[in-house]
């Protein structure tokens, strides 16, 4: 097993949701792949009762691949509708999905062996996470954050062009 180096992190809480499956804490942290590529690890943990801290012992964690990091940043900036990743973890039984919900914000869903945890982000939280994740993408691409955003916008524009 490789030694994991953790960096800067952000946490968000959906602790007032009525549905227990949507009452979660989200931790997004700077990490690096085994090949030392800068990326993010995304963790979602259930919050058992409204107003309580997340139960991190029951979290699901996924480290984004380089292409997933790019797609994740696009969703957080509202440039893409969604992104999905699968076959994560040693057992290849974990997945991630992120959805841009427009003016309602965004949702991040992590799954493991059929268990799903969702975290709902307000529009303000989505923007904060967009800036945070794009800083990491800029490090990976060895460009400035503003250049990374410009490249993401260009990619979104190209995706909308007819073939």
- Higher-confidence residue of 93 and 18: namely 93
What pLDDT does residue 23 have?
92
What pLDDT does residue 19 have?
81
In the predicted model, is pLDDT for residue 159 greater than 90?
no
* Three-state SS annotation for the chain: CCCCCCCCEEEEECCCCCCHHHCEEEEEEEEECCCCCEEEEEEEEECCCCCCCCCHHHCEEEECCHHHHHHHHHHHCCCCCEEEEEEECCCCCEEEEEEECHHHCEEEEEEECCEEEEEEECHHHHHHHHHHHHHHHHHHHCCCHHHHHHHHHHHHHHHCCCC
Which band of pLDDT confidence, cut at 50, 70 and 90, is reported for residue 5? low
Q: Where are the domains of the chain?
A: 9-159
CATH architecture of 9-159: Roll (2.30)
pLDDT tens-digit series, residues 77-119? 999 999 999 999 889 999 999 999 999 999 999 999 989 999 9
What pLDDT does residue 49 have?
87
């Amino acid at each position: 097993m490789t030694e994991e180096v953790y960096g800067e992190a952000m946490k968000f809480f959906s602790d007032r949701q009525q549905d227990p499956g949507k009452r979660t804490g989200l931790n997004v942290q700077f990490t690096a792949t085994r090949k030392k590529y800068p990326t993010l690890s995304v963790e979602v943990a259930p919050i058992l009762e409204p107003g309580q801290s997340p139960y991190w012992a029951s979290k699901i964690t996924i480290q984004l691949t380089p292409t997933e990091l790019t797609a994740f940043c696009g969703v957080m900036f509202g440039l893409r509708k969604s992104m999905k990743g699968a076959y994560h973890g040693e057992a290849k039984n974990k997945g991630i999905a992120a959805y841009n919900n427009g003016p309602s914000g965004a949702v991040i869903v992590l799954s493991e062996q059929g268990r799903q945890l969702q975290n709902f982000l307000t529009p303000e939280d989505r923007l904060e996470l967009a800036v945070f994740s794009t800083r990491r993408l800029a490090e990976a691409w060895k460009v400035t954050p503003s250049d990374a955003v410009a490249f993401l916008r260009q990619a979104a524009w190209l995706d909308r062009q007819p073939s």
